């Protein structure tokens, strides 16, 4: 499934907010920032969270969108006060690089010791190995039982 372009999402978000359908605007604001990064979209999503009185979530989106609007300052400060560098790194985890962020946001991150994103880790292929091991074990058990059954039948017939 491909996502609509950010401008379309912003229009949908603004439309829902203007109609007073904050519940729908909230659904959109929760869904799309996880899927793509666009500063204007994240700014609008952050404003939506401010409107529904969720300042911490708003602060995260507004900070990462690069907002310097004084009206957003309290929410951004709340977010930064409640989250250390490790937590902020987790919030950045889906971004391709810090270069996509506005310069002011990169500078604020650098002040907190975040100058690059963590390298993606690859989990060991344990589920596949366990599944393969189980399949081989079952095949060996089936062969063993078949051999025992054939030997039993042979002894019974020649008995």
Mean pLDDT for back-to-back runs of 10 residues, the chain (159 residues): 76 92 89 76 92 93 92 95 90 80 91 79 60 86 94 88
Residue 107 lies in a domain: yes
Q: How large is the greatest C-alpha to C-alpha distance in the chain, in angstroms?
A: 96
pTM score, whole prediction: 0.68
Quick one: 39 and 62 in the same domain? yes
Rounded Cα distance, 33 and 42, in Å: 6
Residue 96: the pLDDT is: 77
For residue 126, the SS3 value is helix
- The DSSP-derived string for 139-154 is HHHHHHHHHHHHHHHH
Residue 52 lies in a domain: yes
Rounded Cα distance, 140 and 143, in Å: 5
C-alpha pair distances (Å), 127 with each of 48, 50, 81, 118, 139: 40, 42, 39, 24, 18
Structural domain of 83: 6-111
Q: How many independent structural domains does the chain possess?
A: 2
Query: How many of the other CB atoms lie within 10 Å of CB of 83?
Result: 18
Residue 78 lies in a domain: yes
Residue 116 lies in a domain: no
Q: What is the 3-state secondary structure (H, E, C) of 46-93?
A: HHHHHHCCCHHHHHHHHHHHCCCCHHHHHHHHHHHHHCCHHHHHHHCC
Residue 98: the pLDDT is: 87
In the chain, % of residues over pLDDT 70? 87
Quick one: 29 and 53 in the same domain? yes
Residue 100: the pLDDT is: 87
Question: CA 132, 137, 139, 140 torsion: positive or negative?
Answer: positive
Residue 146: the pLDDT is: 95
Residue 139 lies in a domain: yes
């Amino acid at each position: 499934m491909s996502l609509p372009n950010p401008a379309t999402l912003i229009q949908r978000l603004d439309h829902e907010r203007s109609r007073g359908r904050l519940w729908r605007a909230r659904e959109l604001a929760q869904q799309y920032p996880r899927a793509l990064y666009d500063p204007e979209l994240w700014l609008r999503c952050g404003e939506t969270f401010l409107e529904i009185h969720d300042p911490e979530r708003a602060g995260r989106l507004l900070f990462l969108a690069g907002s310097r609007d004084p009206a957003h300052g309290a929410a951004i400060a709340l977010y930064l006060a409640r989250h250390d560098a490790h937590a902020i790194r987790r919030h950045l985890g889906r971004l391709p690089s810090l270069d996509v962020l506005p310069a002011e946001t990169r500078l604020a991150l650098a002040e907190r010791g975040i100058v690059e994103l963590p390298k993606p880790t690859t989990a060991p292929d344990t589920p596949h190995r366990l599944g393969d091991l189980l399949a081989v074990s079952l095949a060996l058990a089936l062969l063993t039982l078949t051999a025992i059954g054939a030997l039993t039948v042979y002894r019974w017939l020649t008995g």
